[in-house]
Amino acid sequence: MTTPTAPALLRPALLAACALLAACSVGPDYRSPDLPPAASYGADATAPVSALGEARREDQLKSGMDIPAQWWGVFHCAELDALVAATLANNPNLDAAKASLRAAHEFVLAQQGAYYPQVSASVQPTRQKFAQNLASPLASGASIFNLTTTQVSVSYTPDLFGGNARAVESLVAQEEQQRFELEAVRLTLATNAVLAALTDAMLRQQIEDTKAIILDQRAVLASYKQQSRLGQASPADMAAQEALLAQAEGAMPPLEKLFRINRDLLAALQGRTPGEPYDVRFSFASIAMPEQLPLSLPAELVRHRPDVRIAEEQLHAACAQIGVAVAARWPSLSIDAGVGTAALALVPEFGAATQFASIAATLTQPIFDGGTLRHRQRAAEALFDQAAALYRATVIGAFQNTADVLHALWTDTDALHDAEAAEVAARTSLAIARKQLALGDVTKLVVIADEQAADQARVALLLARGNRFADVVALFQALGGGWWNRDEPATAGGSEHTAP
């Protein structure tokens, strides 16, 4: 009788494996959650009403307007563009997020390896001695001999009920989660860089305006002292002015502290230490306010915000884990085969006389495990319910955040308009006072007081303008930042995940 060769033994196993690849996948198929039918930002946010109860229409807000990937370019500031570019190129937090994405991608590829047969080779040289009172396994009867076994082993576990497919699906969802974690880091860093630049511009100007106020206060105090010597000013007037001067001077140290801390932040965002030179100065004169602002549709908001996409991918991964738990309760099949040689020497020998081969299939069905697998499935279902609740909470939070930003945008727009009107009125009053001083109608003290009022109005306008810029930045962040318009691969490896 002819002994079957190793390829002849392996062929049926491979055919059986191919037939079993058409197995079904257990567990629920994931479906992206529907957006609540009434999801919106609210009429007050999109169609604001003034404090007098009159409807106000803002032409600068454009519904459905797309957001560029480099959204900070709407400010038309070259220094700001360079700052964000340096931040996204050098910040270590972004490097850490990229490494997490690469690791998640490798985990997917590692799990996909379970679709294929596992092949290993081994060489085992041994020297053996049998007790002389036992029968020798050799035909020669020798009790001391050398034996070298050379073997190639093949094992394969068909994915009968899609447990591995669900495991791959879960890991792919986790990879997508890491991808949106990366987008969230990018968006946060860009937002922080823009806000830090705006803060630098505002604090610089605020310090300059505060210095002007201090000089005016000192001039007023000097005038009071002169009038006091002439008997025209009381000690109470001088004490009140000294208190105003001390108040103005007391505002300077906190501003300088905030300015220095913000400069340290600018350095850290770019991956620098505070001691490294960074001489770029920002000013509102070089930063333009965008004429039109985008407002994403509700369906676009949940597709574009990284935090919502992260929550959805967590939900997707939890759904796939239910399938993994269900598949573990169904039968599993493993196929093992081996072919090799055994030679009475310390080096391998190959020939028909030394060959051996084996093939085996094992079908396993869990019968009793103390409820372990059932409770694991229930735990997976509970985790899915948890992820679904967290997803809904994230969506609600996204709409709330966007609505809050819109409310702040309209309120701060009104405040900016009022501050601009107040600053114009203060400048007009100062100009009139100076003309009256030239005609001798008022004293120098009146002019100094009007100069002080103009300085205060200018500071208020500066703060209002800073708040308005911050609202614009917050709006771009709330809407997702435009990452979907950046030309980059969908996955860390730049390819889609497919089962063989």
488 pLDDT higher than 90: no
Q: What is the CATH number of the domain that holds 74?
A: 1.20.1600.10
486 pLDDT higher than 90: no
- Mean pLDDT on 266-295: 91
- Would you say residue 52 lies in a domain? yes
Indicate the DSSP class of residue 289.
P
- Mean pLDDT on 91-102: 97
- Would you say residue 91 lies in a domain? yes
Reported as a pLDDT band with limits 50, 70 and 90, residue 3 is: very low
String of DSSP letters for 103-147? HHHHHHHHHHGGGS-EEEEEEEEEEEE--TTS--SSTT--SEEEE
pLDDT per residue as tens digits for the range 53-86: 454 545 578 888 999 999 999 999 999 999 999 9
Reported as a pLDDT band with limits 50, 70 and 90, residue 103 is: very high
CA distances in angstroms from 436 to 213, 226, 461, listed in the order given: 22, 21, 26
String of DSSP letters for 428-468? HHHHHHHHHHHHTSS-HHHHHHHHHHHHHHHHHHHHHHHHH
pLDDT score, position 38:
84
- Mean pLDDT on 16-28: 60
Residues 6 or more apart whose CB falls under 8 angstroms from that of 231 comprise none
Reported as a pLDDT band with limits 50, 70 and 90, residue 495 is: very low
Full residue range of the structural domain in which residue 377 is found? 25-119+163-331+373-485
Reported as a pLDDT band with limits 50, 70 and 90, residue 48 is: low
- Mean pLDDT on 358-387: 96
- Would you say residue 8 lies in a domain? no
Reported as a pLDDT band with limits 50, 70 and 90, residue 497 is: low
Residues 6 or more apart whose CB falls under 8 angstroms from that of 24 comprise 161, 162
Reported as a pLDDT band with limits 50, 70 and 90, residue 441 is: confident
Beta-strand relationship, 293-295 and 61-63: parallel
- Would you say residue 217 lies in a domain? yes
- Would you say residue 153 lies in a domain? no
Residue, of 326 and 236, whose pLDDT is higher: 326
Residue 132 burial by Cβ neighbours in a 10 Å radius (0-12, 13-18, 19+): exposed
- CA separation for the pair 335, 154 (Å, rounded): 8
- Would you say residue 343 lies in a domain? no
- Mean pLDDT on 455-471: 92
Total count of domains within the chain: 1
- Mean pLDDT on 111-128: 93
- Would you say residue 2 lies in a domain? no
* Torsions phi, psi for 91 (to 5 deg): -70, 125
pLDDT score, position 215:
87
- Would you say residue 377 lies in a domain? yes
- CA separation for the pair 32, 480 (Å, rounded): 19
Asked which of 51-65, 354-368, 438-452 is least confident by mean pLDDT, the reply is 51-65
